[in-house]
Amino acid sequence: MKKISQFFKNTNILFIVATIILISVIILLNKSHNDKNKNIPTTTNAKVTKGSISSTVSASGTIETANYLAVTTSVNGIVKKVYVQEGDSIVKGQKIMDITLNSDGEESRVSAYASYLSAKSNLEKAKNDLLIKESSLLEAERSFETEKVNNSYQSDDERDSYKLAENSYLISKTDYEIQKESITQAQVALNKAWLSYQAQSPTIIAQESGVIANILVVEGMDISNSLSERTSSTVASIRKEGTPIASLNISEVDINKIKVGQKTILNLNSIDNKIFFGKVAGIDKIGTTTSGVANYPVIVKFDENSDLVLPNMGVDADIVIEEKDDVLLVPTSAIETKDKGKTVILVRDGTTEITKVETGVSGDKLTEIISGINEGDTVQVRALPTEGFDTNSRNVDMRAPGMGGFMR
C-alpha cells in the first residue's frame, strides 16, 4: 500500500510540472505572436489619382445554342454517303448525306407519304366545302336583303318571316367562317405531313445556309429511330451568321440594377487569357425560384463572333452598371463611414487630419471622390496585415455583394 501511495504521489508531481511547462510555452508563444503583430503596420498611405472606374454586377451562366441549327432525320438505315465535312460552307437545299433505308425505314417512309396524301385530300375537300357554304351564304344574304325591303312588319307572319330570313343568313355566315378556319387547319396539317415525309427521306439536305459546325455520323453508321414515338436523330449542325449569346443568372438583390444595353465583360471557363465583350439584350423579370432562392435569366449578346465559343460552355461575366472616366480615385479602404457622412484621413507634412468627402461610384478596390480632396493629396489607407491576423480584425473591409470595380 505504501508503494502504491508513493506511485500516485510521484505521478501527481509529474503532472503538475508538465502543466506548468505547457502554460509557460503558451504564454511565450502568445507574447511572440503579439509582439509580431505590433510590428505589422495597420495603415499605409496612398496618393489621390485620376482614372476610370466601374461599378459591376457579377454573374455566371452558360452559352446558349444560338446560331446553331440541328440537322435531324427520323429514318432508319445505314449512312451511305456523306458529302460535306466540318467547316464547309453550305447553301439551303444542298445535299448533306444519303442513307440506305432498312425495312423499318421503308415502312416509315411509305406511311409518312400516305399521311401526306391524306392531308392533301382533306385540304382539297375543305376548299370544296367552302365553295358550297359560300353559295349558301350568298343565297341566304340575298333572301334576307329581299325580306328587309318587302316586309312591312305589320303581322306576326311577316315578323316571323323576317326573323327566319335573318337566322338563315346568320347561320350561313357562321358556317362559312367555320369552314374558312377548317381550311387553315387543313393547311397546317398538310404542312406538318409534308415535313414528316421529308424527315423520312433517305437524302438529307440543308434547311438553311451556313457553315457545317459538325458531322455526327460517318459512312456505314447505323441510324435507329422509334416508329411509334416518332423520334429523330441529330446527324449534323449548321452554324449561321451571328454572334454568341450567353444566359446569365442574376440574383434578386441585383436584378433591378440591370438594364438592356449595359456593357458586359465575359470570361469563358474553358478559354484562358481571352476576354470577350457584349451587351445586355434581354431581361427575364419573372425568373425562377429554387430552394427559396430567386434567380432571373439575363441574355447577353457578344459584340463579335468567335469559333472558340461553343454552346453549353460555362461563362463568368461582369455587367457594368456605371462607368466614369477621368475622376478622382482613392482606395475604397481609405474611406470611413460615420454618422455625419464619409471621411478620409488626409496626411500633410507628417500630420493627419480627418476630412469629410463626397463619394460617387464605388468598386472593389477604388472609389470615386466627388469633393473634399484634390488630385495629388495623400490619404491614409487601412492596411490588412499579410499574416498574424484573424477575420475579426477591424481592418477587414466589408463590401456589398455583387459589386466590383476595375481601373483602366
Task: For residue 255, give the CATH number of its domain.
Answer: 2.40.30.170
Question: What is the pLDDT at residue 248?
Answer: 95
End residue of a domain, out of 171, 205, 238: 238
Question: What is the pLDDT at residue 152?
Answer: 79
CA distance 250 to 228: 42
Q: State whether 20 and 47 are in the same domain.
A: no
Q: State whether 400 and 305 are in the same domain.
A: no
Question: What is the pLDDT at residue 408?
Answer: 39
Question: What is the pLDDT at residue 191?
Answer: 96
Q: State whether 329 and 213 are in the same domain.
A: no
Check whether 318 has a pLDDT greater than 80: yes
Q: Which triple of cell numbers denotes residue 96?
A: 448533306
Q: Which triple of cell numbers denotes residue 293?
A: 432562392
Q: State whether 31 and 102 are in the same domain.
A: no
* pLDDT mean over 287-298: 90
Q: State whether 186 and 93 are in the same domain.
A: yes
End residue of a domain, out of 322, 356, 384: 322
Question: What is the pLDDT at residue 348?
Answer: 87
* pLDDT mean over 390-399: 32
CB 180: neighbour CB atoms within 10 A?
A: 13
Q: State whether 154 and 82 are in the same domain.
A: yes
Check whether 97 has a pLDDT greater than 90: yes
Check whether 392 has a pLDDT greater than 60: no
pLDDT digits 0-9 by tens, 339-359: 778 888 888 888 888 888 888
CA distance 47 to 381: 10
Q: State whether 94 and 200 are in the same domain.
A: yes
Question: What is the pLDDT at residue 27?
Answer: 67
pTM score of the predicted model: 0.57
CA distance 361 to 342: 14
Q: State whether 305 and 331 are in the same domain.
A: no
Torsion-angle region of 68 (φ positive above 0: left; ψ -120 to 50: alpha; else: beta) = beta
CA distance 39 to 394: 17
Q: Which triple of cell numbers denotes residue 265?
A: 465583360
- 296 near 250, Cβ under 8 Å? yes
% of the chain beyond a pLDDT of 90: 46
- CA 131 to chain centroid, in Å, comes to 51
Q: State whether 187 and 83 are in the same domain.
A: yes
User: How many CA atoms does the CB half-sphere of 134 hold within 13 Å?
Assistant: 7
Number of H helices, E strands in the chain: 3, 22
End residue of a domain, out of 220, 238, 256: 238
Question: What is the pLDDT at residue 136?
Answer: 93
Question: What is the pLDDT at residue 401?
Answer: 35
- 176 near 130, Cβ under 8 Å? yes
Of 203-217, 266-280, 362-376, the one with minimum mean pLDDT is: 362-376
Contacts of 349 (CB under 8 A, 6+ apart): none
Q: Which triple of cell numbers denotes residue 186?
A: 387543313
pLDDT band at residue 53 using 50, 70 and 90 as cut-offs: confident
Question: What is the pLDDT at residue 16?
Answer: 66
CATH at 379: 2.40.420.20
User: Taking Cα atoms as reference points, which of 208, 213, 408, 206 lies closest to residue 305?
Assistant: 213
CA distance 275 to 230: 43
- Full residue range of the structural domain in which residue 99 is found: 74-238
Maximum alpha-carbon separation in the chain = 143
Q: Which triple of cell numbers denotes residue 261?
A: 444595353
User: Taking Cα atoms as reference points, which of 269, 250, 257 lies closest to residue 316?
Assistant: 269
CA distance 326 to 75: 64
Q: State whether 270 and 170 are in the same domain.
A: no
Q: State whether 86 and 219 are in the same domain.
A: yes
* pLDDT mean over 180-196: 94
Q: Which triple of cell numbers denotes residue 188?
A: 397546317
In sign, the C-alpha dihedral spanning 348, 351, 356, 361 is positive
> Bigger pLDDT: 201 or 152?
201
CB burial of residue 360 (10 Å; 0-12, 13-18, 19+)? middle
CA distance 215 to 66: 18
* pLDDT mean over 387-396: 33
Check whether 144 has a pLDDT greater than 50: yes
In sign, the C-alpha dihedral spanning 77, 83, 87, 90 is negative
CATH at 186: 1.10.287
CA distance 240 to 35: 67
pLDDT digits 0-9 by tens, 368-384: 888 888 888 888 887 65
pLDDT digits 0-9 by tens, 1-16: 444 455 445 555 655 6
* pLDDT mean over 383-400: 37
Number of domains in the chain: 4
